[in-house]
A = this chain, B = another copy of it.
Amino acid sequence: MEMVEVTARLCQRLGLPRSSGQIFGLLYLSTQALSLDEIAEALEISKASVSTGTRQLLGWHAIRQVWKPGDRKDYYEVQADLGELLRANYLGFFRPKLDASKRKLAVLQELLDADLKSGSLEATDYAVCKERLESLTRLQSRIQKLLPLAEKLL
């Protein structure tokens, strides 16, 4: 499968484990749900890697676990709606990070003010720093406004 290679490369470019990308690529073009063993065999990687990989993908809501009646095996299939996938990850991952960064920026502003009052910072230097921090804050809030919009369009 060509698709496996594409998603594998995408993942490792993003700093994520390559094997997770392989698994997703395989499942994305698979007609039926695959068991852990089938995935391991198809990709020629160990069962252990598949086990950890599937748990990661489950955490990102990228795949789902399904069961077949009278079969103890776990089967996996993709969450085919990628828009839904992006939404879920935005809410569960990016959103909290963005909120945290906003708080962090406020802390930095306070530290800067403290440095000015304690005399450890020249007034002109203070002005430059303050302007830059405010620029960052403006960018941060613009991003926070943009993402819900992007969420709608995807």
Contacts and interface: CB of A to CB of B under 8 A. Distances in A.
Nearest to A81: B135
Interface in A41-92: 78, 80-83
Indicate the size class of the contact surface on chain A. Answer: 20 to 34
B154 A143 contact: yes
Interface in A107-145: 107-108, 111, 124-125, 128-129, 132-133, 135-136, 139, 142-143, 145
Given A108-B2, A132-B80, A135-B80, A142 B146 contact: no
Interface of A: 2-3, 6, 14-15, 28-29, 31, 78, 80-83, 104, 107-108, 111, 124-125, 128-129, 132-133, 135-136, 139, 142-143, 145-146, 150, 153-154
